[in-house]
Amino acid sequence: DILSAWSFDSPYPNWYAQGYSGLPLYPLYGGYQLFGGTSAAGPHVAGAAALMVQLNDNCGMVVKDLIEASAYNDVYTGALPVYPALGTANWGYGKLNACAALEEVSKLPVVHEVTVDPQTPEYTDIVTISMNVTGAGSVHFDWSFNNWSSGHPSTLNLSAGLYSATIPAHGYGVRIDYIFWPVNPSAVVNPNVPGSYVVDDTVGPSIDSFYHNATAYAVDPTWVEVAVQATEPVNASGIAGADIEFSVDNWASTNYVALSWNGTHFTGHVPPSPAPLTMKFRVVVHDYAMNSASTAEVSYNIVTALPTTTTSTTGGTTSGNWLQDNLYLIAAGAAVLVLIIIVMACRKRK
């Protein structure tokens, strides 16, 4: 009932609990010893706090306030300030009253669930946040996209058993903080329910155009020219870069060449490889959210000399024996000519 001498060492107490020369119920080292001081008072408060959180698991942030508001005074403490006024330097708000603290907890709104839809918002999503709560006379809501430098407060209406609010779409990587305040006017203090999410981007870039000058064959050494144009929507993460992926062993191993940005396109070259090999390549475009999009695979044969009647990647010329290539056409023309001569000869005889 009275303050222990050492309790005055505290610069400013909030409240007091029993803690003088008690005997624990659990033996230590084969016997019992006196248990006092803060080591004994602390567990009393911790036990009361545990009961409070068990009754309402959303009360954690206001446990201290409720214990201060429910502390009692007596002839030993004298008259004390009433929370939220500042407590005294000796007794704070008074003595711990676990039962009264639990009664205060019972007045708090009970939050059953908070949902975010969609759960992982994309840069195109309008987000709906809903709270299922009972025991609240009103529910207030606020959100911010700039770490609470500014906010958007509102009072929510109950609809279909839920208090819901919407947050407009924001750009990739933006952190949205939000907070619910369910209020019961009869409660000494009401806890809030904070939350946050970060806007995501899981959609790859759009490849708008793809150019290359590869054909069926390329004479060693040949550099194949490549250009690609890609875009992403407003608020997406944005194009980070592009590269050529190429292989001469059917993708058993892959090589990479970073493309350069010229202001409108990503450009570069597939480097030459020794003949005889089959080169396969594609262009992959990446965004800042680690998404990617790929062109179709392109392949060509690397040779030391062009086969006949083929067009090279670099030269663009055609070679071969014209007479041999058109032998059947010449023979057909000659046969037609002979037939015409025979018909004309027959008409003259008549």
Q: Which of 35-44, 172-181, 301-310 has the lowest mean pLDDT?
A: 35-44
d(CA 165, CA 159): 11
Q: Residue 41: pLDDT above 90?
A: no
pLDDT score recorded for residue 319? 42
Buried b (16+ CB within 10 A) or exposed e, 309-325: eeebbeeeeeeeeeeee
Higher-scoring residue by pLDDT: 341, 4: 341
Buried b (16+ CB within 10 A) or exposed e, 239-252: beebbbbbbbeeee
Q: Which domains does the chain have, with CATH numbers?
A: 5-105 (3.40.50.200), 110-198 (2.60.40.10), 206-322 (2.60.40.10)
Average pLDDT over residues 267-296: 97
Higher-scoring residue by pLDDT: 42, 3: 42
What's the mean pLDDT when you consider all of the chain?
Answer: 87
Q: Residue 296: pLDDT above 90?
A: yes
pLDDT in tens, 315-330: 444 444 555 556 666 7
Q: Which of 152-161, 188-197, 276-285, 328-337 has the lowest mean pLDDT?
A: 328-337
**pTM (2 decimals)?**
0.74
pLDDT score recorded for residue 87? 84
Q: Residue 203: pLDDT above 70?
A: yes
Q: Which of 6-10, 44-48, 55-59, 113-117 has the lowest mean pLDDT?
A: 6-10
pLDDT score recorded for residue 318? 40
Q: Which of 61-75, 151-165, 199-213 has the lowest mean pLDDT?
A: 61-75
pLDDT score recorded for residue 339? 74
Q: Which of 1-15, 73-87, 142-156 has the lowest mean pLDDT?
A: 1-15
Say if CB 154 and CB 140 are below 8 A apart: yes
Q: Residue 143: pLDDT above 60?
A: yes
pLDDT score recorded for residue 89? 78
Most confident of 176-185, 309-318, 340-349: 176-185
Q: Which of 91-105, 129-143, 214-228 has the lowest mean pLDDT?
A: 91-105
Q: In Å, how far are 14, 46, 103 from 73, measured between CA atoms?
A: 13, 20, 17
In terms of residues, how long is the chain? 350
Average pLDDT over residues 123-142: 97
pLDDT score recorded for residue 94? 86
Q: Residue 17: pLDDT above 80?
A: no
Q: Residue 188: pLDDT above 80?
A: yes
Cis peptide before 221 (omega within 30 of 0): yes
